[in-house]
Chains A and B, each alone.
Chain A
Amino acid sequence: MSNKTQWQSVCSVDDLIAESGIAVWTADGPVAIFYLPNRIPCLFAIGHTDPFSGSNVLARGITGDLKGQPVVASPLYKQHFNLETGVCLEDDAVQVPTYPVLLDGNNVVLEVPVKSQVKEIA
């Protein structure tokens, strides 16, 4: 696999839900995007797969902050993941991937790795 990345447009601003998450499918698999309008920055993107259950559910967790860190709580077993670093607060050996995320006009765009065996389409 190469270290190359690409910017991928994944959804529109209207798809986002304030203080909560949505899931999108990317070249790197399922990603959860959180929109926290009372923070700067207000967009966060982490892997959607809960490492403790293997299920694609993190976008459906409750967001908030713990000791100042922005977090989402897994809806299955309630572990918290730092939205900036992906590190699990209960077990720092566990981490989910994080992705740079930006607004391009009305589009939400993500920077995701390009898998070498996958031909570039966008």
Chain B
Amino acid sequence: MSKKNLIVVGNGMVGHHFLEQFVESEAAAAFNVVVFGEEPLLAYDRVHLSEYFTGSTHADLAMGTAQWYADKNIDLHLDEQVSEIDRDNQQVITPKGSYPYDELVLATGSFPFVPPIEGNNGPDCLVYRTLDDLDQIRASAEGGKVGVVVGGGLLGLEAANALKSLGLEAHVVEFAPRLMPVQLDADGGGLLRRKIEELGVQVHTEKATTAIVEGDECRLRMNFSDDTHLETDLIVFSAGIRPQDALARSSGLDIGERGGIVINNQCTTSDPHIHAIGECALWDGRIFGLVAPGYTMARTLSGALNGDSEAAFTGADMSTKLKLLGVDVGSIGDAHGQTPGARNIQFNDGANGVYRRMVISEDGKKLLGAILVGDNGPYDTLLQYALNGIELPANPEALILPESEGGAPALGPDALPDTASICSCHNVTKGDICGVIDAGCCDLGSVKGETKASTGCGGCAALLKNVVDCELEKRGVEVSKDICEHFPYSRQELFHLVKVNGIRTFHQLIHDHGKGHGCDICKPAVGSILATVWNEHILATDHVALQDTNDTFMANMQKNGTYSIVPRVPGGEITPDKLIVLGEVAKEYDLYTKITGGQRIDLFGATLSQLPEIWEKLIAAGFETGHAYGKSLRTVKSCVGSTWCRYGVQDSVGMAILLEDRYKGLRSPHKLKMAVSGCTRECAEAQSKDIGVIATDKGWNLYVCGNGGMRPRHADLFATDLSDEELIRAIDRVLMFYVRTADRLQRTSVWLENLEGGLDYLKKVVLEDNLGIGEELDAHMQTVIDTYQCEWKTAVEDPEKRKRFREFVNDERKDPVQQWTQERGQRRPVIETA
């Protein structure tokens, strides 16, 4: 029997997801699959469209590759628009020919709604949907200064971010009284507005545009109904979407009153051989403008075409969690409290920019919806309560209060029902995870491999790990704390073995206490322990092979195999002469130059063989290595302090230099950052550092275990009004205790949170010496300080160590894969996408 034909019209995210599902199903063998895409490019990720302006290419955003389509025998027609469906003869017609179908899938998506405003069709009036649109926005932004987005919804704010990243002064014009009117209430919308305005995007609400005319200062002028106006060089319309149903309409399929191809629960239209999925489809009178429901339709349809009688689309959860211009926004279920009898609980912390609202049922037992602005921390827990109908605790307000005010910890994985969705990208429930664990998976990696959970957007990674750990523990599987397969010990235990047994090499340690030859997990960890305990040069023969490449070559490897160089600039203080040297070196070697967040200068693009030459010059000018490559002290940031500042009460720069010179070279489980502020205004941002020092009129306040970056943590106040000597002794002991007891790659913030007894215990150890190890910690720190050497100085002076810095030991040629281009007056690598 010859194969039947399945045609898919539309090659967007949902169309692609359908193909992924269908070609792996049993029914695929019976069909030739043909796909038509209107755009010349393969399906790409529209959710992350704005990344196109920050360096991503189509290849980065693409959902699949041409090779994948070829491998799956899918006949792909890009840049070929279907003009007509001939339902009587079951064929589709394009400008290039006609193609017969047995089953037809419409995944034509949507198009942006452009409000009918006079003058809306000029060359600088654009929309935000495709990569082609983005190219046009980019072209229009050239030579412009101001950009306006019409529409303050989710996509509009994304578009505003894109305009901002193009260097334009960005405005958002919204018809409703607040931003994101669908997802947020007045208080939440107000806070979001404040935060976005702080980021430099100007927001205009309750503005109806009446006409777009030629501008005086800019290219265009928008006139509003309240007789105000706004000048701009370009306008991006993002005022909602409309289903792309033109093809279905002209073929006589049932269409909703306000557009959308009517489908039933199996995603089939009024013609039994034509189906529709995604944003073009109208189910139960609703259009679903998010990607997840579209994916659900795709899976449903694939199931239905395989004869699965239970496959049905029954609506979708429209909860959303996202970061808009860096601001967390979350909206769950009935966010506006429209359910009869619904009650509200609100938490509004204006000072810290956090707003949370819960909508609960009349009897107070179920969570119906929620709004979060400023911090999505409770989102996962709240979503689980809402989706699974879990009964709320007696004091539900605890779910949205900060922990310090009696807030509840996150919902434990044990409380989730088996139907709870853990990974929505791959539709994996807690029950699925329990199933594969019962079938023999006994670690996180194999659960991920078996279920695909957390391999989509990755947003559920933490939740998945908690569920897996909890389920394994329930089954009596001990969750191993061993560092790797070579040592049955944690980092802390290895530290004690090294120290107590006087072990000085990796070889001796693995011979006495481990097995095998080691790996990239245990070797650097042991290298770091040996460096902390004995402080020998990291390129000493016994240690060289233990180090990550950054430590081995004492520079930071970048994506093309070249390195960046960060000399130490203690406290951020640098003389003009030294600055000139950095400039001269950068110029000579054509190094891309950038100021770091830690008040230093980073020089990018040095090849392996250039490193020692460059360092010879830097050392001759008085520079030392900055350890930017090491798990060690990076910088001590400082404000200018009492020397210059009229508010400063202590010499913060002097203290920062003292601390940086004292702790430079200390090897630790992870990098360490410090800062010193000269007064309570805290310009050095010390409370986001591992060690933060803030001047008072009586001395120094010490803060510990803060963190910026991926997982910010406010540092804890550890001691107040310390003298210089007291401050240094306290820091010595906190650091040494951390270095001895932390896990591999554990920052001080996580270390403190996991330290039994917490901050109070740490205070007792350091300030009251209740373990009686204070003097030992002091002495150990003194040894580290006394044995400090600039690793680069030692390396450039030793011909044997310099031998390592050759690209090819038998050939002087340059690395042929390193290709360069110019951008904004500097050299950068050409990025090739594989």
- When C-beta atoms are compared, the residue in chain B nearest to A71 turns out to be B519
Docked CA distance A36–B518 (Å) = 12
Contact B519 A73 (CB under 8 A): yes
Give chain A nearest CB distance to B515 CB in angstroms.
10
Contact B523 A55 (CB under 8 A): no
Contact B485 A67 (CB under 8 A): yes
* B548 touches which of A22, A49, A62, A67 (Cβ 8 Å): A62
Contact B520 A70 (CB under 8 A): no
Docked CA distance A63–B524 (Å) = 11
Contact with A along B1-13 (1 / 0, CB 8 A): 0000000000000
On chain B, the residues within 8 Å of A65 by CB distance are 516-519
Q: Which of A15-31 contact B (CB under 8 A)?
A: 15, 17-20, 22-25, 30
On chain B, the residues within 8 Å of A66 by CB distance are 485, 519
Indicate whether B475 reaches chain A with its CB closer than 8 angstroms.
Answer: no
The 4 residue pairs across chains A and B that have the minimum distance between CB atoms: A19-B545, A64-B519, A73-B520, A55-B561
Give chain B nearest CB distance to A33 CB in angstroms.
9
Contact B524 A60 (CB under 8 A): no
Contact B810 A64 (CB under 8 A): no
- When C-beta atoms are compared, the residue in chain B nearest to A35 turns out to be B545
Docked CA distance A57–B816 (Å) = 12
Indicate whether A54 reaches chain B with its CB closer than 8 angstroms.
Answer: yes
Give chain B nearest CB distance to A101 CB in angstroms.
14
Say whether, besides A57-B561, A76-B557, A24 and B810 are in contact (CB < 8 Å). yes
Contact A60 B545 (CB under 8 A): no
Indicate whether A47 reaches chain B with its CB closer than 8 angstroms.
Answer: no
Mark the stretch among B665-673, B750-758, B801-809 that contacts chain A.
B801-809
Indicate whether A38 reaches chain B with its CB closer than 8 angstroms.
Answer: yes
Indicate whether B553 reaches chain A with its CB closer than 8 angstroms.
Answer: yes
Contact A17 B834 (CB under 8 A): no
Docked CA distance A65–B484 (Å) = 11
Say whether, besides A62-B520, A65-B517, A55 and B810 are in contact (CB < 8 Å). no
Contact B557 A56 (CB under 8 A): no
Determine chain A's interface SS by DSSP, over half rule: strand
Indicate whether B594 reaches chain A with its CB closer than 8 angstroms.
Answer: no
* B519 touches which of A10, A22, A23, A62 (Cβ 8 Å): A62
Contact B810 A75 (CB under 8 A): no
Indicate whether A87 reaches chain B with its CB closer than 8 angstroms.
Answer: no
Contact with A along B339-353 (1 / 0, CB 8 A): 000000000000000
Contact with B along A37-71 (1 / 0, CB 8 A): 01100000000010001111100111111111011
On chain A, the residues within 8 Å of B817 by CB distance are 49, 54-56
Give chain B nearest CB distance to A38 CB in angstroms.
6
Residue count of chain B within 8 Å CB distance of chain A = 39
On chain B, the residues within 8 Å of A25 by CB distance are 808, 810-811, 813
Indicate whether B32 reaches chain A with its CB closer than 8 angstroms.
Answer: no
**23 A–B contacts, CB within 8 A, in A order:** A10-B809, A11-B810, A23-B806, A24-B808, A24-B809, A24-B810, A25-B808, A49-B817, A53-B559, A54-B834, A55-B817, A56-B561, A56-B815, A60-B549, A62-B545, A62-B546, A62-B548, A64-B520, A65-B516, A65-B517, A65-B518, A66-B485, A76-B561
On chain B, the residues within 8 Å of A63 by CB distance are 517, 545
On chain B, the residues within 8 Å of A18 by CB distance are 541, 545
Contact A39 B832 (CB under 8 A): no
Give chain A nearest CB distance to B438 CB in angstroms.
25
Interface band, chain A: 35 or more
Contact A20 B545 (CB under 8 A): yes
Give chain B nearest CB distance to A122 CB in angstroms.
12
Contacts A53-B559, A56-B815, A64-B523 known; 4 new A-B pairs at CB < 8 A = A19-B545, A22-B809, A30-B808, A65-B516
Docked CA distance A55–B486 (Å) = 29
Q: Which of B537-590 contact A (CB under 8 A)?
A: 541, 544-550, 552-553, 557, 559-561
Contact B517 A62 (CB under 8 A): no
Give chain B nearest CB distance to A107 CB in angstroms.
11
On chain B, the residues within 8 Å of A75 by CB distance are 548-550, 557
On chain A, the residues within 8 Å of B557 by CB distance are 57, 60, 75-76
- When C-beta atoms are compared, the residue in chain A nearest to B541 turns out to be A18
Docked CA distance A55–B561 (Å) = 6
- When C-beta atoms are compared, the residue in chain B nearest to A22 turns out to be B809
Give chain A nearest CB distance to B590 CB in angstroms.
19
On chain B, the residues within 8 Å of A78 by CB distance are 520
Contact with A along B510-526 (1 / 0, CB 8 A): 00000011111011100
Docked CA distance A19–B541 (Å) = 10
Docked CA distance A78–B550 (Å) = 13
Docked CA distance A103–B90 (Å) = 70
- When C-beta atoms are compared, the residue in chain A nearest to B561 turns out to be A55
Contact with A along B188-203 (1 / 0, CB 8 A): 0000000000000000
- When C-beta atoms are compared, the residue in chain A nearest to B808 turns out to be A25
Give chain B nearest CB distance to A34 CB in angstroms.
10
Docked CA distance A30–B811 (Å) = 10
Contact A24 B559 (CB under 8 A): no
Docked CA distance A19–B522 (Å) = 14
- When C-beta atoms are compared, the residue in chain B nearest to A55 turns out to be B561
On chain A, the residues within 8 Å of B561 by CB distance are 53, 55-57, 76
Contact A11 B552 (CB under 8 A): no
Contact A10 B545 (CB under 8 A): no
On chain A, the residues within 8 Å of B545 by CB distance are 17-20, 62-63
* A70 touches which of B517, B541, B547, B550 (Cβ 8 Å): B517
On chain A, the residues within 8 Å of B541 by CB distance are 18
Docked CA distance A70–B561 (Å) = 23
- When C-beta atoms are compared, the residue in chain A nearest to B552 turns out to be A60
On chain B, the residues within 8 Å of A76 by CB distance are 557, 559, 561
Docked CA distance A8–B325 (Å) = 56
Docked CA distance A4–B634 (Å) = 52
Contact B549 A57 (CB under 8 A): yes
On chain B, the residues within 8 Å of A55 by CB distance are 559-561, 817-818
Contact A61 B516 (CB under 8 A): no
Docked CA distance A73–B557 (Å) = 14
Q: Which of B786-834 contact A (CB under 8 A)?
A: 803-804, 806-811, 813, 815-818, 832, 834
Docked CA distance A56–B522 (Å) = 24
Docked CA distance A78–B557 (Å) = 13
Contact B810 A38 (CB under 8 A): no
Docked CA distance A71–B548 (Å) = 15
Give chain B nearest CB distance to A79 CB in angstroms.
10
On chain B, the residues within 8 Å of A38 by CB distance are 517
On chain A, the residues within 8 Å of B519 by CB distance are 62, 64-66, 71, 73
Most buried by A among B518, B553, B817: B817
Give chain A nearest CB distance to B36 CB in angstroms.
30
Q: Which of B70-96 contact A (CB under 8 A)?
A: none
Contact A60 B553 (CB under 8 A): yes
- When C-beta atoms are compared, the residue in chain A nearest to B562 turns out to be A55
Give chain A nearest CB distance to B105 CB in angstroms.
30
Give chain A nearest CB distance to B552 CB in angstroms.
7
Contact A23 B807 (CB under 8 A): yes
Give chain B nearest CB distance to A46 CB in angstroms.
15
- When C-beta atoms are compared, the residue in chain B nearest to A9 turns out to be B810
Docked CA distance A72–B807 (Å) = 18
Contact B544 A64 (CB under 8 A): no
On chain B, the residues within 8 Å of A56 by CB distance are 561, 807, 815-817
- When C-beta atoms are compared, the residue in chain A nearest to B524 turns out to be A62
Q: Which of B483-540 contact A (CB under 8 A)?
A: 485-486, 516-520, 522-524
Docked CA distance A68–B809 (Å) = 29
Docked CA distance A71–B815 (Å) = 24
Most buried by A among B518, B522, B808, B813: B808
Docked CA distance A17–B539 (Å) = 11
